[in-house]
């Protein structure tokens, strides 16, 4: 027995020594393995990736390779060179790392799944007439939920207190869930609030699931919560009568055709719930929080929405009028510039020469990962965006009120000056649905509610730094708000 243990320990030590042996060749990016063998920079990366990447950028420049838990990750921070990464899905593969995360977070493996077919289907369902139909359903659901909240009050003119993050996330999540997964609100099915409550518990463990750093107790909780969500989502998209969107029904049908068993289908439902709901609520929260703490911005957005609501509905329905909102669009883009912080990660599946915009070339090794972190640049880059820490609602507006798209770095006009939705072949398929949903949410909230901060001097909450890399950030703490329904509605 003792020999087995000793051999095992020796094996681990040899593995660590071997995997830490890598050295940099001249044609490769600067290599920083960190001081801890194998683990490398994993702890610092996980604690606050933005701080860590900024420190590495100061040390090595816009491209470097770091060791993170046995893997080598090359980080590229020059937005002028992002195209070289985003337009080469053959050498820089999106799917492999996505599958690793799928397994870790959702305990889901779909070995015979065809992501290209799934994506083509989703693209079709989230554009054109289908998108218009989904947006109209989303609008109805948001209105219904607000009305339901109003009816639940004994005295409808009283002020209610709440926290802005849970208020925004809960409302948008439930409306999105009803639109895409379920259909009706009152047909003896699961209460969307139950799904939301379970989902939030899952969401709180998401980064640890992805990094495989759950403590034993958290592991048990994660397993229970996932199990409960799989059960709640089990009927979603099954048959015409399920009330689910055409998209979900087609997706479920595709899984069935691929021979995916029932249990795995449920797990895939949770993956889709996360992909479609995980960022929209937090994004709406940040936008409302910035508006509430910047009266000038709130005034400008209100003014734009008021002029829309005053137009004649007989000539043009509200949802069509809500498409032309340059002030709102700029404010949302600015809120996302400050709070959308996904890693755009690709696996190097064949040796690749990366040509950067400054003329330099670097070799990438097969099996390494390549990571763009647009939050650092372009989004928070002071050369591109003056005073990048400040929320300026009109940053993406020209003087004449049109959308501003001219931003520069080192004299070059940038294709990517903010990247909350990713870009290229694997950019966000749900972007227009997400923007439309957030716009409707803010419009309806400002239209139906008097909404204000409990403390007029309250500051924006800090961000939860462990969530860098996982899409839209979430706050550490919240903003206390009070609201009441306007008399006329
Ligand atoms: C504020 C809300 C959202 C944000 C900030 C966001 C952001 C992103 C980002 C950054 C990516 C690219 C990931 C990468 O390149 O590695 C992405 C991909 C994706 N998003 Fe979104 N998303 C949002 C909402 C949605 C919604 C509502 C849907 C669906 C209705 C959706 C569906 C997808 C899908 C399917 C992909 C993967 C595309 C592929 O496989 O190539 N997203 N999203």
In tens, the pLDDT along 314-323 reads: 777 888 888 8
Span 323-351, average pLDDT: 97
Residues of each annotated binding site for heme: 428
Tell me whether residue 403 is in a domain.
Answer: yes
pLDDT for 119 equals 95
| 342 — pLDDT class (breaks 50, 70, 90) | very high
- The minimum-distance atom of ligand 1 relative to the CA of 438 is 1
Summarize pLDDT for 422-432 with one digit per residue, the tens: 998 899 999 99
**Overall domain count for the chain:** 2
Domain with 157, as residue range(s), is 115-340+375-485
Complete DSSP assignment for 110-121: -TT--HHHHHHH
111 pLDDT higher than 80:
yes
Distance CA 375, CA 9 (A): 40
Instruction: Give the contacts of 359 (CB within 8 A, at least 6 positions apart).
Output: none
| Mean per-residue pLDDT over the chain, rounded | 93
Distance CA 357, CA 376 (A): 18
Check whether residue 360 and residue 466 sit in a common domain.
no
Residue whose Cα lies nearest atom 42 of ligand 1: it is 430
Summarize pLDDT for 132-167 with one digit per residue, the tens: 999 999 999 999 999 998 888 767 678 999 999 999
pLDDT for 181 equals 94
6 pLDDT higher than 80:
no
Check whether residue 366 and residue 452 sit in a common domain.
no
Residue whose Cα lies nearest atom 6 of ligand 1: it is 421
32 pLDDT higher than 90:
yes
Summarize pLDDT for 175-186 with one digit per residue, the tens: 999 999 986 655
- Where does ligand 1 bind, in terms of residues with CB under 6 Å? 119, 122, 126, 275-276, 279-280, 283, 340, 342, 344, 420-422, 426-430, 433-434, 471-472
For residue 422, how far is its CA from the centre of ligand 1 (angstroms)?
Answer: 8
Distance CA 257, CA 380 (A): 45
For residue 407, how far is its CA from the centre of ligand 1 (angstroms)?
Answer: 24
pLDDT for 13 equals 57
Residue recorded with tokens 């219904």: 144
**Residue 272 belongs to domain with CATH number:** 1.10.630.10
Residues of each annotated binding site for substrate: 104, 110, 279, 369
Span 94-115, average pLDDT: 95
Residues of each annotated binding site: 104, 110, 279, 369, 428
- The minimum-distance atom of ligand 1 relative to the CA of 176 is 27
Tell me whether residue 105 is in a domain.
Answer: no
For residue 145, how far is its CA from the centre of ligand 1 (angstroms)?
Answer: 25
pLDDT for 241 equals 74
- The minimum-distance atom of ligand 1 relative to the CA of 277 is 27
The pTM (predicted TM-score) of the whole model is 0.95
- The minimum-distance atom of ligand 1 relative to the CA of 86 is 15
Tell me whether residue 164 is in a domain.
Answer: yes
Q: Which of 95, 124, 274, 430 to mutate to test the pocket of ligand 1 (most atoms within 8 A of CB)?
A: 430
For residue 484, how far is its CA from the centre of ligand 1 (angstroms)?
Answer: 34
14 pLDDT higher than 60:
no
Check whether residue 392 and residue 313 sit in a common domain.
yes
The answer to whether residues 252 and 237 touch, using CB atoms and an 8 Å cutoff, is: yes
Residue whose Cα lies nearest atom 32 of ligand 1: it is 430
β-pair partners for 64? 75
For residue 273, how far is its CA from the centre of ligand 1 (angstroms)?
Answer: 12
Tell me whether residue 106 is in a domain.
Answer: no
pLDDT for 24 equals 87
For 77, 209, 228, 231, 467, the CA distances from 205, given in Å and listed in that order, are 28, 6, 15, 19, 11
Q: What is the three-class DSSP state of 373?
A: coil
| 251 — pLDDT class (breaks 50, 70, 90) | very high
Check whether residue 200 and residue 78 sit in a common domain.
no
Least confident stretch, 15-24, 235-244, 329-338, 395-404: 15-24
Tell me whether residue 356 is in a domain.
Answer: yes
- The candidate with the shortest Cα–Cα distance to 125, out of 171, 180, 192, is 180
């Amino acid at each position: 027995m003792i020999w087995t243990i000793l051999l095992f320990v020796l094996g681990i030590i040899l593995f660590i020594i071997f995997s830490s042996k890598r050295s940099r060749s001249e044609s490769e990016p600067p290599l920083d393995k960190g001081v801890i063998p194998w683990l490398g920079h994993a702890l610092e990366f996980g604690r606050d990736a933005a701080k860590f990447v900024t420190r590495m950028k100061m040390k090595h420049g816009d491209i470097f390779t770091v060791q993170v838990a046995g893997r080598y990750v090359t980080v590229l921070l020059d937005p002028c060179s992002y195209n070289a990464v985003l337009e080469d899905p053959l050498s820089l593969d999106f799917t492999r790392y996505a599958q690793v995360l799928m397994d870790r977070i959702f305990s889901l493996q779909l070995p015979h799944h065809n992501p290209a077919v799934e994506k083509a289907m989703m693209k079709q369902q989230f554009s054109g007439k289908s998108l218009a139909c989904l947006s109209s359903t989303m609008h109805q659901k948001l209105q219904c939920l607000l009305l339901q909240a109003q009816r639940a009050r004994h005295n409808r003119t009283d002020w209610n207190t709440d926290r802005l993050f849970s208020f925004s996330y809960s409302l948008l999540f439930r409306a999105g869930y009803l639109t895409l997964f379920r259909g009706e609100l009152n047909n003896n099915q699961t209460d969307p609030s139950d799904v939301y409550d379970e989902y939030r518990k899952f969401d709180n463990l998401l980064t640890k699931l992805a990094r495989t750093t759950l403590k034993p107790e958290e592991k048990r909780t994660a397993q229970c919560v996932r199990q409960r969500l799989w059960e709640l989502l089990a009927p979603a998209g099954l048959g015409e009568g399920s009330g689910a969107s055409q998209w979900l029904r087609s997706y479920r049908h595709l899984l069935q055709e691929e021979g995916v068993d029932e249990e795995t289908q449920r797990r895939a439902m949770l993956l889709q719930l996360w992909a479609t709901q995980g960022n929209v609520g937090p994004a709406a929260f940040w936008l409302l929080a910035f508006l509430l703490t910047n009266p000038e911005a709130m005034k400008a957005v209100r003014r734009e929405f008021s002029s829309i609501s005053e137009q004649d509905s007989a000539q043009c329905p509200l949802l069509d009028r809500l498409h032309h909102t340059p002030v709102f669009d700029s404010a949302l883009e600015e809120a996302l510039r400050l709070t959308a912080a996904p890693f755009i990660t690709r696996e190097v599946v064949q040796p690749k020469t990366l040509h950067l915009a400054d003329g330099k070339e670097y070799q990438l090794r097969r099996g390494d990962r390549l990571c763009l972190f647009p939050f650092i640049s372009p989004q928070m880059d002071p050369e591109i965006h003056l005073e990048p820490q400040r929320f300026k609602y009109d940053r993406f507006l020209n003087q004449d009120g049109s959308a501003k798209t001219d931003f520069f770095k080192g004299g070059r006009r940038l294709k990517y000056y903010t990247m909350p939705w990713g870009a290229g072949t694997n950019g966000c398929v749900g972007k227009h649905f997400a923007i439309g949903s957030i716009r409707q949410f803010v419009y309806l909230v400002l239209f139906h509610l008097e909404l204000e901060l409990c403390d007029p001097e309250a500051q924006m909450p800090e961000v939860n730094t462990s969530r860098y890399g996982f899409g839209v950030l979430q706050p550490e703490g919240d903003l206390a708000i009070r609201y009441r329904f306007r008399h006329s509605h």
